[in-house]
């Protein structure tokens, strides 16, 4: 379960940002999660709830997860299409000359201090 490791990593980043900005309490963290990142949002949320209880700075801080749709670009016909729905082969021209342009990232979007 790598979601627990990701939750701990996010907590470390938030702690670093809080220290740099003299923040004493965090109530909410927003995360952008690519739909093909390999992270299961429900599992990450469960790990987050467990992990933040151990941190005074973030005790009971909410984790908001926004999905980033996976998109693929076709070099042959220059179309962009939804990756999950169509896979690696372009639905417009049938080409395999494609690559993922978004949807595998994990971005820390916002930290709400109180």
Question: What residue segments make up the domains of the chain, in order of their start?
Answer: 2-7+26-113
| 3-state SS class at 67 | strand
How far apart (Å, rounded) are the C-alpha atoms in residues 34 and 68? 4
- Residues 7-55 pLDDT 10s: 999 999 999 999 999 999 999 999 999 999 999 999 999 999 999 999 9
Residue 47 is assigned to a ligand binding site: no
Q: How many residues does the chain have?
A: 114
Residue 77 marked as a ligand binder: yes
- DSSP H helical segments within 37-113, as ranges? 41-52, 83-86
The class of domain 2-7+26-113 in CATH terms is: alpha beta
114 is in an annotated binding site: no
pTM (two decimals): 0.86
């Amino acid at each position: 379960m790598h979601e627990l490791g990701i939750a701990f990593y996010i907590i470390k980043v938030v702690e670093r940002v809080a220290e740099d900005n003299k923040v004493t309490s965090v109530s909410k963290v927003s995360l952008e999660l690519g739909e093909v990142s390999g992270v299961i949002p429900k599992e990450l949320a469960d790990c987050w709830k467990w992990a933040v209880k151990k941190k005074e700075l973030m005790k009971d801080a909410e984790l908001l997860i926004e999905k980033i749709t996976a998109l693929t670009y076709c070099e042959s016909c220059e179309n962009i299409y939804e990756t999950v729905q169509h896979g690696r082969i372009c639905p417009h021209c049938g080409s395999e000359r494609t690559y993922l342009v978004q949807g595998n990232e994990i971005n820390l979007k916002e930290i709400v201090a109180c």
